[in-house]
Amino acid sequence: MSRRPTCDEAMPRGDGHDAPLVQIGLPTGARSTGFEATRRDVLSLMGFSLGAIGLGAGCRAPVQHAVPLPSASTEMVPGVPNLYATTCGGCGASCGLVVKQRDGRPIKIEGNEASPLTGGGTCAAGQASVLSLYDDARLRGPVWLGNAVSWSEIDRHITTMLGGGGSDRRAIVLLSPTINSPSTRAVLADFRTRFPGFRHVVHDPMSLAALREANRLAFGAAVVPHFHFDRARVVVALEADFLGTWLAPVEFSRQWARRRTADGTRGFHVQCEAGLSVTGSNADLRLAVAPSELGTVAVALLAAVARRVNDAGLAALNATGLGQTAPHAAAIDRVADALARHRGESLVVTGSDDVATQLVVGKLNALLGNIGGADGPIDLARPSLQAQGDDAGVPALIDDMNRGAVSALIIWGANPVYDHPDGLAFRKALGRVPLTISFADRRDETSAHVHALCPDHHFLESWGDAEPVSGHFSLAQPLIAPLHDTRAGAESLLAWAAPAAGAAGAGKPADHRLYLRDFWRRALYPRAATAAGFDDFWERTLERGVVELPGPAVQTHAFAGDWQGAVRDIVTRASRAGTDHGGYELALHETVGARDGRHANNPWLLELPDPITRLTWGNVASIAPATAAALGVATGDVVTLTTETGKLELPAFVQPGQDRRTISVAVGYGRWAAGKAGDGIGANVYPLARVENGVRRYAARVNVAKAGRRARLAPAQTHFSMEGRDIVQSLTLASLEHEHEHEHEELPNLWRERLHGAHAWGMSIDLDACTGCSACVVACQSENNVPVVGAEQVRKSRIMHWLRIDRYFDGDGEDATTVHQPMMCQHCQHAPCETVCPVLATTTSSEGINQQVYNRCIGTRYCANNCPYKVRRFNWHNYTANDDFPYNMTSPLGRLVLNPDVTVRSRGVMEKCNLCVQRVQLGKNQALLQRRPLADGDVATACQQACPTGAIVFGDLADAGSRVSKLLAGRRAYRVLDDLGTRPNVGYLKKIELKEKA
């Protein structure tokens, strides 16, 4: 075709129309000096537009399906949570729980407010235990000699090897931690009927055997008393972390907090310990005492109290002159004063592993009249059943195994290869037993060496019951059908104890639920003294979760222990120890995150910053500042600890408050068969102590040497100074009288007043009641789908916890005092973060909540920069379905724990505490459905619900009658950094100190 004329040719020249009006780069890449509207160009231009449309409208969303149950259930409505009462299996305390279940699976653990013991509180390990249900490391089914088999197959093998009928007297041993479940005790009794050679060895990794032995000698009953810290005006604890990890920390925290009144009835709490524990950090008076000196302190205290009560029988004590040579002599005198003034309402408790020290403390309590009586602080008649470990049991068992006297060993919930000092010997002895069975939920350090793996259910999949304290019962019911082909341990035992085919009662399948129900009907329902039938009683108890059934009291006599012998023993040892000065001592202790090591594969607990060291992902050797200086050791230097029984390398950590002769190390780390997350984290310190005279020791003489290298720690808090700002405020009781009601200094307002809605949500945090236990931190993580980021990211200060508990020290010697301050978004009404967001992704709602809208956020991070409280967290990575972060949000099984009511954030968005707005909205929704107004207390944030002391109170500040309004109008209330004019809706109550800080 003929060529069309170009512009150049068409347009006349010379009159300014030379250059083309428009220069366009065509998609075809053709360069032209003029616009040639050829058909080809038009088509390619249209193609470009169509392509753009294709990009825009051609993006297709994935097809979603809705799959209802084949048969409708009135009980399970999709989207409506169900709450079931059960019992926690996170440690031996057996706290009552109410667990939230969505779509047939448990997603959030809460405390049972009906429990007279815990009152609804939980601990960090308990909150985290929902995640261990969805642990990928769990066994999928029974394993026989390394091969996956069916239950009937493994039962055949086991029943054959367990052998013949009632005439069989060979030893079959069950090794387990404390079992306080009455129905399980009945199962064991049934098992013994079938196998008369059966015996039960109880192994608690952190045991109270010395206390029980002392009580046996002194009172005639080897029991752990039920302690009532709220009935004591003076509490003296010697190496007992009762607020953090000792015996029943949730219950004790609640009791202890009851005594933290702001008036003359306030309790006085003294702590004597080597390492700084959570309890010690909250004591009114803390004395650093090395483990070898604890006995001496107890004797000196006994002597000092004896002088004041003029007990003639104790005159001999004064003659030893021990009072003057004991450490902290002056302080001990003061404490004795306080104790003597409150006879019958004081409590001296010790977790010491030394029977002599326990006897001295027992004598002291008896002298003070603290024991006995239904309302006393120490109840021996209705004792605690939470710690029944027999320390002599495991060494004796190892001997028996080596001698060939054990024909079968069943390990249920115990892991001695890891947590017993003779673990290696145990492992070797295992090989000498013809049949070894483990109910462990994974191939752990011990169960990796047994013949038969018969995995037990997780406690959230189990029926069961518990009797944590004599007369206080709690039931457990499953929240989900077993995820894997596991079987209740009790059912396994019942199956193997079943009568042989042909005998009476044969062929009946062992059903744990039916057995449990039948046991309660026979043994416990008669104690209920109720007119209701058993079925009614059972249903009501299952719903409520807990019930009190008074039972027979334990028979004890008045103190009759050989306390003089104990004192002599302690004095002799002290004088011997006095001659070899210069040595250090190693002290083992539990932490709130790791506990005894059973949760080692739980990423929530691995990343939980320790309340004292603020470290994550590992343990350290805590050393006093003076000692560290003497050794030339700084935080992060690796040191080698050598005791008689073992050697360990750990990074050192300079710890204010640490006793200068003692190095403290947390147990529960250094596992090698816990699972991918926990293996190789930290170091195992259990082998460094030993069993002595049938009692576990948790301290030893140790040599400390520098290993010559450094290790990188993963601290969640790197800045420990308040820089002169009044971030944590405290006052004394005396000055409280003169304190004014909280006066809100009204700075001039630059902003127009916002339209207020019906509510103004706010929160009050009582710094005097907060112990730093960190249950709230894990509860928040569980409720709000907060990701785990791993040690490397924690080092880059990218930890994602919305709620942190800052810890500050005052001083750094042995007398350093500690304060804990939970810090989350303060929900400022004049928020500095809101004014700098370029896209208004963060604004304040009409109800006072500073809201973060994830889908609007573009990740500028200016808001985090501007926040004076540094509470905003940025998603630097996709933490979900990302192999670089192999934790619960990457595993499909682990994702089952996610809360469906809370968005899972992706990379590039900011997140922070939103005062559990999903719970607020749900509360409003429930009120609407029930046609009633929202009442104070209807809505509790996750952190508030978890707190065992009730330090956190959430509510409506627009309602003058709400608890939070009253608290924040009180004399102790203040806002953090309120001189900046941020007007936070979160207020704090000043901590009450014993004396003015210097």
Partner 1 sequence: MRLRGIVFGFVVLGAGGGLLARGATRIGVHQGYAPEQPIAFPHKVHAGDNKIACLYCHSAARTSRHAGIPSASVCMNCHALLEKQTTAIQRLKEAVQQERPIAWTKVHNLPDFVYFNHSQHVVSGVACQRCHGAVEQMDRIEQAAPLTMGWCLGCHRAEAHVPTSTFARVAANVRGRPTPFAGEDCTSCHY
- Where in 934-993 is the site for partner 1 (CB under 8 A)? 934, 958
What would the two tokens of residue 507 be? 């062929």
Least distance (Å) between residue 80 CB and partner 1: 5
Least distance (Å) between residue 885 CB and partner 1: 19
CA 470/CA 385 separation, integer angstroms = 7
43 vs 396, which CB is nearer to partner 1?
A: 43
Q: Can you tell me which of 27, 78, 431, 578 binds partner 1, judged by CB under 8 A?
A: 78
Binding mask 312-351 for partner 1 (x = CB under 8 A): ----------------------------------------
Q: Can you tell me which of 3, 31, 65, 752 binds partner 1, judged by CB under 8 A?
A: 65
At residue 659, the 3 state secondary structure works out as coil
Q: Can you tell me which of 16, 29, 68, 724 binds partner 1, judged by CB under 8 A?
A: 68
Least distance (Å) between residue 631 CB and partner 1: 51
Enumerate residues 6+ apart whose C-beta is below 8 A from 66.
none
Does position 509 bind partner 1 by CB under 8 A? no
Are 958 and 966 contacting, i.e. CB atoms less than 8 angstroms apart? no
Residue type, 62: P
397 vs 849, which CB is nearer to partner 1?
A: 849
63 vs 312, which CB is nearer to partner 1?
A: 63
Q: Which of residues 21-60 bind partner 1 (CB under 8 A)?
A: 21-22, 24, 34-35, 37, 42, 45-46, 48-50, 52-59
Are 426 and 433 contacting, i.e. CB atoms less than 8 angstroms apart? no
322 vs 849, which CB is nearer to partner 1?
A: 849
Residue with tokens 């040191």: 639
Q: 563: closest CA among 418, 857, 362, 779?
A: 362
Residue with tokens 């009937």: 152
644: phi then psi, degrees, rounded to nearest 5: -55, -35
522 vs 856, which CB is nearer to partner 1?
A: 856
Binding mask 837-856 for partner 1 (x = CB under 8 A): ------x-xxx-x-x-xxxx
Window of 6-14, 171-179, 809-817, 865-873 that interacts with partner 1 by CB under 8 A:
6-14
CA 358/CA 362 separation, integer angstroms = 6
What would the two tokens of residue 292 be? 């070898």
613 vs 914, which CB is nearer to partner 1?
A: 914
Are 663 and 704 contacting, i.e. CB atoms less than 8 angstroms apart? yes
Which DSSP state fits 520? I
Q: Which of residues 665-694 bind partner 1 (CB under 8 A)?
A: none
Q: Can you tell me which of 66, 374, 531, 734 binds partner 1, judged by CB under 8 A?
A: 66
Cβ burial 286-325 (10 Å sphere, 16+ → b, else e): bbbbbbbbbbbbbbbbbbbbbbeeeeeebeebeebebbee
681 vs 934, which CB is nearer to partner 1?
A: 934
Which DSSP state fits 984? B
Instruction: List residues bridging with 623 in a β-sheet.
Output: 654
274 vs 837, which CB is nearer to partner 1?
A: 837
69 vs 481, which CB is nearer to partner 1?
A: 69
Q: Alpha helices of 545-651 — where are they, by DSSP H?
A: 563-579, 603-606, 625-631
Least distance (Å) between residue 60 CB and partner 1: 10
Q: In the sheet where 472-476 sits, what is the strand order?
A: 224-227, 378-384, 464-469, 472-476, 546-548
Q: How many residues bind partner 1 (CB under 8 A)?
A: 71
Least distance (Å) between residue 47 CB and partner 1: 10
Element (H, E) at 663: strand 662-666
37 vs 506, which CB is nearer to partner 1?
A: 37
CA 226/CA 251 separation, integer angstroms = 11
Which DSSP state fits 786? P
What would the two tokens of residue 134 be? 């969805």
Q: Can you tell me which of 20, 551, 832, 981 binds partner 1, judged by CB under 8 A?
A: 20
Does position 67 bind partner 1 by CB under 8 A? yes
Q: 914: closest CA among 780, 773, 775?
A: 780
36 vs 993, which CB is nearer to partner 1?
A: 36
Window of 63-71, 165-173, 262-270, 469-477 that interacts with partner 1 by CB under 8 A:
63-71
Q: Can you tell me which of 13, 15, 29, 63 binds partner 1, judged by CB under 8 A?
A: 63
Pairing between strand 761-766 and 691-692?
unpaired
33 vs 261, which CB is nearer to partner 1?
A: 33
Residue with tokens 């080597």: 274
Q: Can you tell me which of 27, 499, 550, 757 binds partner 1, judged by CB under 8 A?
A: 757
Q: Which of residues 727-756 bind partner 1 (CB under 8 A)?
A: 755-756
Least distance (Å) between residue 755 CB and partner 1: 6
Least distance (Å) between residue 65 CB and partner 1: 5
Least distance (Å) between residue 35 CB and partner 1: 5
402 vs 843, which CB is nearer to partner 1?
A: 843
Q: In the sheet where 198-202 sits, what is the strand order?
A: 147-148, 143-144, 452-453, 435-438, 406-411, 171-176, 198-202
Q: Which of residues 693-722 bind partner 1 (CB under 8 A)?
A: none
Least distance (Å) between residue 10 CB and partner 1: 6
11 vs 506, which CB is nearer to partner 1?
A: 11
Element (H, E) at 364: helix 355-368
Which DSSP state fits 70? S
Least distance (Å) between residue 6 CB and partner 1: 10
Q: Which of residues 881-940 bind partner 1 (CB under 8 A)?
A: 901-904, 914, 917-918, 921, 924-925, 928-929, 931-934
Least distance (Å) between residue 898 CB and partner 1: 11
Are 633 and 655 contacting, i.e. CB atoms less than 8 angstroms apart? no
- DSSP line for 730-783: EEEHHHHHHPPP-----PPP-SPPPPP-S--EEEEEETTT-----HHHHHHHHH
Indicate the angle between helix axes 423-430 and 393-403, nearest 10 degrees: 30
460 vs 916, which CB is nearer to partner 1?
A: 916
Least distance (Å) between residue 838 CB and partner 1: 16
Least distance (Å) between residue 960 CB and partner 1: 11
Least distance (Å) between residue 66 CB and partner 1: 5
Least distance (Å) between residue 754 CB and partner 1: 10
Least distance (Å) between residue 107 CB and partner 1: 15
CA 927/CA 912 separation, integer angstroms = 27
CA 208/CA 361 separation, integer angstroms = 14
CA 860/CA 873 separation, integer angstroms = 12
497 vs 913, which CB is nearer to partner 1?
A: 913
Q: Which of residues 589-608 bind partner 1 (CB under 8 A)?
A: none
Residue with tokens 């400390």: 704
Q: Can you tell me which of 3, 9, 14, 80 binds partner 1, judged by CB under 8 A?
A: 80
